[in-house]
């Protein structure tokens, strides 16, 4: 009978291993910013998934922050202060992100953090940073609850004073997509799928609400397991539901195969998603099936903004191996907002960093206002970006192309 107990032990171990593989630390890559000559060193922390499924987006964030720090150093933008970055990898895991937050808080030179990418990771980091009065600016978190509290639909309450973001929220992104799908693309029957994560489920919910309000019909809903890659059963359901469009709340590692398998099942209908699928890797994973799929993303396309020309040119000149991806411009602006805040604090204190620099930077951040890569950068009373620009993209000839850019109005 020992074998049977062995199997039981093994099964228990296996379940433990399932959760454990998510952890484990990896080498920290401190980035490559030059340390300048003398003066104070201020470290800008970066937290993003630098490895794993979402690394394409994460590395774009890290490089863009690095570029902002280098630019500030080159221009001697803040007299007597040299900026450095410390980039930590959260692998898209909330638990790892929280450990990283603790680590960044422990480093006294860190006066601001850019990141993270995932709303669920952001949720886990907020409190750690807020207790330490360390400012956090996310270029990519879009879940409304992060700035407006969990009951944001009824009563907006800002949970953490130290949290800001340059990205627009899903409270705007979901409805914006719904309006485009219903009014412009003329699709009336939607099948809604999400991955049950903070970002995906939130986005799918705001989309569904607006789509129904406009008069559209939800012919089916489904929640997928992000660990899975066989969506054939779901794809068959989509096909038989008679939907003429699929909305997916989630990220590209699942969206790519999902789109491919839905088309393979015989439903030749577009998949629409949020900024989480707006990545070149989505097209790589979906293959030819991705053609015609749509994504909304925050802001206007960086390539087309006159304010972004310099960023695009500098990024290219710096010779980063990875593309800046969807959040490059926002990451640069997030980092630059921290630099602006530090500048204000230093100038108010006769060119030196005060002892309570972190708290002062948080206060200064609230009033930051400058012309950034993505347009005017400033924050409202919740810490949300005042810039509410969004754009619809679609896959054409193996690349994302702009379809429509606009500002969402109620």
Report residue 82 as tokens.
């040299």
- Residue 17, class by beta-carbon neighbours within 10 Å (0-12 exposed, 13-18 middle, 19+ buried)? exposed
Burial code (b: 16+ CB inside 10 Å, e: under 16) for 280-308 equals ebbbebbeebbbebbbbbbbbbbeebebb
Please report how close the Cβ of residue 308 comes to other proteins at its closest, in angstroms. 26
CA 259 vs CA 10, 16, 265, 273: distances in Å: 36, 32, 10, 10
Q: How many CB atoms lie within 10 A of CB 161?
A: 15
Please report how close the Cβ of residue 319 comes to other proteins at its closest, in angstroms. 18
Window 281 to 320, contacts with other proteins (CB under 8 A):
281, 284-285, 287
217: contact with other proteins by CB under 8 A? no
Please report how close the Cβ of residue 354 comes to other proteins at its closest, in angstroms. 41
Q: How many CB atoms lie within 10 A of CB 380?
A: 13
Residues in the chain: 410
225: contact with other proteins by CB under 8 A? yes
Which secondary structure element, helix H or strand E, spans residue 45, and what is its range? strand 40-48
228: contact with other proteins by CB under 8 A? yes
Burial code (b: 16+ CB inside 10 Å, e: under 16) for 100-129 equals bbebbbeeeebbbbbbbbbbbbbbbbbebb
Q: Which stretch binds other proteins (CB under 8 A): 129-137, 158-166, 260-268, 339-347?
A: 260-268
Q: How far apart are CA 228 and CA 209, in angstroms?
A: 27
Of the candidate residues 19, 21, 37, 409, the single one contacting other proteins (CB under 8 A): 21
Q: How many CB atoms lie within 10 A of CB 318?
A: 14
277: contact with other proteins by CB under 8 A? no
CA 6 vs CA 3, 9, 19, 20, 214: distances in Å: 5, 5, 20, 20, 58
Residue closer to other proteins by CB (options 165, 260) is 260
Please report how close the Cβ of residue 198 comes to other proteins at its closest, in angstroms. 15
Report residue 389 as tokens.
């620009």
240: contact with other proteins by CB under 8 A? yes
Residue closer to other proteins by CB (options 265, 392) is 265
Residue closer to other proteins by CB (options 92, 375) is 92
Please report how close the Cβ of residue 405 comes to other proteins at its closest, in angstroms. 29
Size of the site for other proteins (CB under 8 A): 47
Residue closer to other proteins by CB (options 234, 346) is 234
Please report how close the Cβ of residue 120 comes to other proteins at its closest, in angstroms. 15
Q: Name the residue among 178, 128, 124 with its Cα closest to residue 146.
A: 124
Residue closer to other proteins by CB (options 225, 367) is 225
Q: Name the residue among 24, 196, 201, 46 with its Cα closest to residue 117.
A: 46
Please report how close the Cβ of residue 107 comes to other proteins at its closest, in angstroms. 26
Q: Which stretch binds other proteins (CB under 8 A): 16-24, 104-112, 207-215, 399-407?
A: 16-24
362: contact with other proteins by CB under 8 A? no
25: contact with other proteins by CB under 8 A? no
- Residue 355, class by beta-carbon neighbours within 10 Å (0-12 exposed, 13-18 middle, 19+ buried)? exposed
Residue closer to other proteins by CB (options 8, 150) is 8
Q: State whether residue 137 is helix, strand or coil.
A: strand
Please report how close the Cβ of residue 2 comes to other proteins at its closest, in angstroms. 4
264: contact with other proteins by CB under 8 A? yes
223: contact with other proteins by CB under 8 A? yes
* Residues lying near other proteins in the complex (CB under 8 A): 1-4, 6-7, 9-10, 13-14, 17-18, 21, 51-53, 55-56, 196, 221-225, 227-234, 236-237, 239-240, 253, 256-257, 260, 264-266, 281, 284-285, 287
């Amino acid at each position: 009978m020992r074998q049977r107990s062995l199997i039981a032990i093994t099964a228990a171990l296996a379940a433990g291993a399932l959760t454990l593989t998510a952890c484990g630390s990896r080498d920290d890559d401190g980035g490559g910013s030059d340390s300048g000559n003398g003066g104070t060193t201020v470290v800008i922390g970066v937290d993003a998934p630098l490895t794993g499924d979402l690394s394409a987006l994460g590395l774009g964030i890290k490089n863009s922050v690095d570029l902002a720090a280098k630019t500030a150093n080159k221009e001697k933008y803040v007299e007597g202060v040299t900026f450095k970055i410390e980039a930590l990898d959260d692998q898209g895991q909330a638990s790892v992100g929280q450990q990283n937050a603790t680590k960044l808080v422990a480093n006294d030179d860190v006066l601001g953090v850019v990141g993270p990418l995932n709303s669920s990771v952001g949720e886990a980091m907020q409190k750690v940073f807020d207790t330490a009065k360390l400012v956090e600016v996310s270029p990519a978190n879009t879940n409304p609850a992060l700035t407006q509290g969990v009951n944001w639909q009824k009563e907006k309450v800002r949970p953490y004073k130290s949290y800001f973001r340059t990205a627009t929220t899903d409270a705007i992104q979901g409805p914006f997509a719904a309006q485009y799908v219903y009014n412009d693309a003329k699709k009336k029957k939607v099948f809604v799928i999400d991955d049950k994560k903070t970002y995906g489920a939130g986005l799918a919910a705001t989309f569904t609400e607006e789509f129904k309000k406009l008069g559209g019909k939800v012919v089916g809903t489904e929640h997928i397991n992000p660990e899975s890659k066989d969506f054939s059963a779901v794809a068959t359901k989509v096909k038989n539901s008679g939907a003429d469009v699929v909305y997916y709340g989630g990220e590209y590692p699942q969206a790519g195969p999902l789109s491919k398998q839905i088309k393979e099942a015989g439903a030749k209908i577009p998949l629409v998603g949020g900024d989480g699928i707006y990545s070149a890797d989505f097209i790589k994973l979906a293959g030819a099936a991705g053609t015609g799929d749509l994504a909304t993303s925050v802001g206007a396309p960086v390539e087309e903004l006159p304010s972004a020309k310099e960023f695009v040119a500098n990024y290219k000149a710096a010779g980063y191996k990875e593309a800046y991806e969807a959040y490059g411009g926002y990451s640069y602006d997030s980092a630059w907002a921290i630099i602006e805040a530090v500048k204000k604090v230093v100038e108010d204190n006769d060119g030196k960093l005060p002892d309570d620099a972190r708290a002062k930077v948080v206060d200064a951040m609230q009033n930051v206002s400058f012309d950034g890569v993505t347009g005017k950068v400033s924050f409202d009373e919740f810490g949300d970006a005042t810039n509410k620009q969004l754009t619809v993209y679609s896959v054409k000839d193996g690349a994302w192309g702009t379809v429509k850019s606009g500002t969402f109005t109620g």
